[in-house]
Amino acid sequence: MAKGNILFTYLLRLADDHLILSQRLGEWAGHAPTLEEDLALTNIALDLIGQARSLYSYAGAVEGQGRDEDQLAFTRPERDYVNALIVEQPNGDFAHTIVRQFFIAAFMVPFWREMEKSGDDQLAAIAAKASKEVAYHLRHASEWVVRLGDGTDESHARMVEALEDLVMYTGELFEKDPVTDAAIEAGFAVDVSALEDEWRQTVEQVLGEAMLALPEVGYMQTGGRDGIHSEHLGHILSELQYMQRTYPGLTW
């Protein structure tokens, strides 16, 4: 694969992670348990969509086929999406949303911090902005983990269930494959396998405070980076892409 192709695929994976998670969080608009939390989740979604837009725009420019951020987001079929499986998992109850958010934010904080050192100026610039934003996301999720884990019997039980349901999607975040290997070799990517210890430390520390524990898991789900998704992504895209599928090329 040529360097341009690797950068394009690498950017697309990141952009898809951010767009799909943003879309999931956006589903809470008008449904969150309190007004403040409604604002918090949609604010985080807004940060994520801003990050996704920067990444898609850059990916489009790197590809050089004239595709812009909108075409990349709205016209690719499910199998061309290369997000990690965890971001497409359903919101479930509030505990599931918070655990998903917590797992991802605990990963994104070290990820963007390391990306600030990228040999690619544009990626480093996107990282410098994102780093500041994800610090808020992690604090928000951590506070909820403690509040719910160390809350009532009901909230504790729901957190335990959410942890058990979602932990098997965390392994994929630290996976390497020929694309990431080539990207690291080219000097613009983060070696995600090196972030796992820090992630585990952050997660276990907060879970400890919340009277919870990270469940042991024997098997990690994978496939998103190759376009092999859970059944949920198709449903997300059918809503996300509805307008452009129905009226191709429609503009406001």
Partner 1 sequence: MAEVVELGKRSDTKVREAAWAAAAAVPDPEIPVVTVADLGILRSVDIDADGAVVARVTPTYSGCPATRMIEQMVLEALQNAGFGDVRVESVLSPAWTTDWISNEGREKLRQFGIAPPQKTSNSKRALFGETVVNCPRCGSAETERVSEFGSTPCKALYRCKACKEPFDYFKCL
Q: Which is nearer to partner 1, 73 or 130 (CB)?
A: 130
Min separation Cβ 81 and partner 1, Å: 20
Among 9, 23, 51, 101, binds partner 1 (CB under 8 A): 51
Q: Which is nearer to partner 1, 68 or 197 (CB)?
A: 68
Among 128, 194, 213, 243, binds partner 1 (CB under 8 A): 128
Among 26, 61, 75, 136, binds partner 1 (CB under 8 A): 136
72-111 footprint of partner 1 as x/- string (CB under 8 A): ----------------------------------------
- 193 SS3 class: helix
Tell me the Ramachandran region of residue 211: left when phi exceeds 0, alpha when psi lies from -120 to 50, beta otherwise: left
What is the spatial distance between Cα 19 and Cα 48, in angstroms, rounded to a whole number?
A: 7
Among 33, 36, 219, 250, binds partner 1 (CB under 8 A): 36
What is the spatial distance between Cα 19 and Cα 177, in angstroms, rounded to a whole number?
A: 22
> CB burial class (10 A; 0-12, 13-18, 19+) of residue 86?
buried
Q: Which is nearer to partner 1, 83 or 180 (CB)?
A: 83
Among 61, 124, 186, 228, binds partner 1 (CB under 8 A): 124
Min separation Cβ 132 and partner 1, Å: 5
What is the spatial distance between Cα 190 and Cα 193, in angstroms, rounded to a whole number?
A: 9
Among 12, 14, 44, 85, binds partner 1 (CB under 8 A): 44
What is the spatial distance between Cα 232 and Cα 203, in angstroms, rounded to a whole number?
A: 26
Residues in contact with partner 1, counted by CB under 8 A, come to a total of 28
The answer to whether 98 touches 146, Cβ cutoff 8 Å, is no
Using rule CB under 8 A, residue 46 touches partner 1: yes
Min separation Cβ 181 and partner 1, Å: 27
Among 40, 72, 106, 108, binds partner 1 (CB under 8 A): 40
Query: Per the structure block, which two tokens stand in for 53?
Result: 């837009």
Among 1, 29, 39, 213, binds partner 1 (CB under 8 A): 39
Helix, strand, coil proportions of the chain in percent (round to 5)? 70, 0, 30
- Angstrom CA distances, 154 to 91, 138, 221, 248, stand at 18, 23, 28, 47
- Angstrom CA distances, 37 to 34, 53, 94, 105, 144, stand at 5, 24, 11, 17, 10
Contact range with partner 1 by CB under 8 A, out of 91-99, 130-138, 183-191, 232-240: 130-138
Q: Enumerate binding residues for partner 1 (CB under 8 A).
A: 36-37, 39-40, 43-44, 46-51, 53-54, 121-122, 124-126, 128-133, 136, 139-140
